[in-house]
Structure formats: structure tokens, C-alpha cells
Structure 1
Amino acid sequence: MTQKFPEHTLERLKDTYLSISTSEPDIRGRKVIDRNGEDVGHVEALFIDQGEKKVRILQIHAGGFLGWGGQSFYVPVDAVRQVTPDEVHIDPTRVQVAAAPVYDPELVLEQEPEAWEPAYTHFGYMPYWSSGYIYPGFPVY
């Protein structure tokens, strides 16, 4: 059973007063690579828990041409396995990401933790508001 913490809502980093700490790299705009070495897209935005000042969700944009078209998906930060100067490596495959919950402006406005549950359950990760959840080692902002 999960425990809900409604005070821990998510907001897009660029919509807050927060910024990237100087000790950690900003992964926005970096290419996303799946566990098979395939190009998934790029990190479009970071959704943070303002209460704990931690990234919880990556918004990954895939497809399109020269910035037009394509689709954006939500992927929990727990999926990040490695970050290089140019790339973010994630555990899910490109096919899994393509089947993930898509970007929804209404969800961004809702901000309640349980609204993000489909992104966690799709990839098989424990939601950040669950009892016993342990934040991954990277990234910290």
C-alpha cells in the first residue's frame, strides 16, 4: 500500500524559482539512449518535487523533425542509469518509452502525486510518495 503525501507536488523546473545546482549537470536537451543503445529522443523538461527539491520525472521528447511533431513522454528519474556529457542513458527500451504516458498539459497543472502514478507503474518503479521509496543516486538538483 502506498502512502500519499499531497504536499509533495511536481512542477516543471523552469516554472519554479529553483535552478540547477552548480555541482550537478543540467541534463535538459541531452540525447536519451535506451539500454540497447538506441536513440530515444532528448530530455525536454524536468519535473521536481519542490518540497524535497529533487527531480522526480523526466519529460522526454521523441520523434519529429527539426523540432516539429513528435511526442513527449514521462519517465521517472529512477530510470536513469548513467549520464555522460552529451547523453542520458535510461534502463527502459525505446519501445517501452513510446508506450509510456504521453505529455498532458492538464497533468502538469494538476500536480497531485497520484496523477503521476501511471508513469511509475508503466515502467515498474515504486512511486516517490510510497513508503520505503529510496531516491536514486542521480540526479540531484
Structure 2
Amino acid sequence: MNAQAPGTLFKLSETEEIVRRPDEDIRGRDVRDRDGEDLGTVKDLLVDAEEDRVRFIEVASGGFLGIGQDSTLIPVDAITSITEDEVRIDQTRENVAGAPVYDPELVRQRENYGGILEYYGVMPFWGGGYVYPAYPHYR
């Protein structure tokens, strides 16, 4: 996947790539805030093309049968726990509701998704700073 421009994200579902261990594929799991409030479902994983690491989860909420759904990107660093059924994050429902609007075309570039990291108080993963764990792993 490194053929894409540096800093580009891609949706795992739009590729031939798969999660290496099926039990680590969190797509379809419920997402809950730090207080246990329902936020939606993990719809997709956004992967950094340069380093082949999952950087964001796309959370879908609302709608019926996929129609009228809203999507929000949440940095993987906001994840505090993962069980067989759910993903918990360290944010409140209100904070997630106020997050920058998700635009699937714009957000794939570093200059656009950097604002999402900033909003959630997450350090950027580029520039030699903090190295984030690669979860989930995929191949």
C-alpha cells in the first residue's frame, strides 16, 4: 500500500488487505464512550499508507439499513479497551458529537485529519514523535 502519497489514509474495506488475525478485526463492534453510552458501530478502519498502521476507526451512527447514517472518525489512541463485542474510548458522547465533520474525500490527507487528532488531544503520529501501537494489525 505504500504506493500512495505520504500521509494518505485509505479505508481497509476498499482494498484487498485483511486483518491478520480475525479476532482483531473490530469492524462491526459497538463503540461506547467512557461512560458506556452507545456511539455507534465500527464501520471501517483507516490505515496510514506510509506506515501500514491503523490510525482511525470510522464510527457509523443513526440511520436505518445504512441510509441516513452519520460517520465520525476517532483516533485509535482514544481506544481504551476492546472486547469481543465492543470498543470503548476515552471520550464523552458530547465530545464525539462536536468533532470535526467527517468528509471521506478530504480527511484522507494529513493536512485535514491532523485537525481531528488535535480535537481529540492526540499527538500527530508523524515527525518522529510518539510512536503509536499498531492496532489492529493487518496484512
Measured at CA, do residues 74 and 132 of structure 1 come closer, stay the same or move farther in structure 2, by a change above 3 Å? same
* Matching residue of 1:76: 75
Structure 2 counterparts to residues 1-141 of structure 1, below 5 A? 7-22=6-21, 24-108=23-107, 111-136=108-133, 138-141=135-138
- C-alpha separation in 2, matches of 1:23 and 1:85: 11
Divergent runs of 4+, >3 A: none
- C-alpha separation in 2, matches of 1:106 and 1:75: 16
Please report the TM-score for the alignment, with normalisation by the length of structure 1: 0.84
Please report the TM-score for the alignment, with normalisation by the length of structure 2: 0.85
| Cα displacement (A) at 1:112 | 2.4
Range with greater deviation from structure 2 (77-86 or 60-69): 60-69
| Cα displacement (A) at 1:95 | 1.1
Instruction: State the number of aligned residues.
Output: 134
| Cα displacement (A) at 1:24 | 4.9
- C-alpha separation in 2, matches of 1:85 and 1:112: 31
Q: Is the 8 A contact 2:32 2:88 kept in 1?
A: yes
Measured at CA, do residues 24 and 114 of structure 1 come closer, stay the same or move farther in structure 2, by a change above 3 Å? farther
The 3-state SS of whatever aligns with 1:89 is: strand
Measured at CA, do residues 91 and 130 of structure 1 come closer, stay the same or move farther in structure 2, by a change above 3 Å? farther
| Cα displacement (A) at 1:18 | 1.6
The 3-state SS of whatever aligns with 1:133 is: coil
Tell me the C-alpha RMSD between the 2 structures: 1.9
Q: Is the 8 A contact 2:53 2:135 kept in 1?
A: no
Measured at CA, do residues 34 and 132 of structure 1 come closer, stay the same or move farther in structure 2, by a change above 3 Å? same
Unpaired stretches in structure 1, ≥5 consecutive residues: 1-5
- C-alpha separation in 2, matches of 1:69 and 1:19: 27
Amino acid at match of 2:106: L
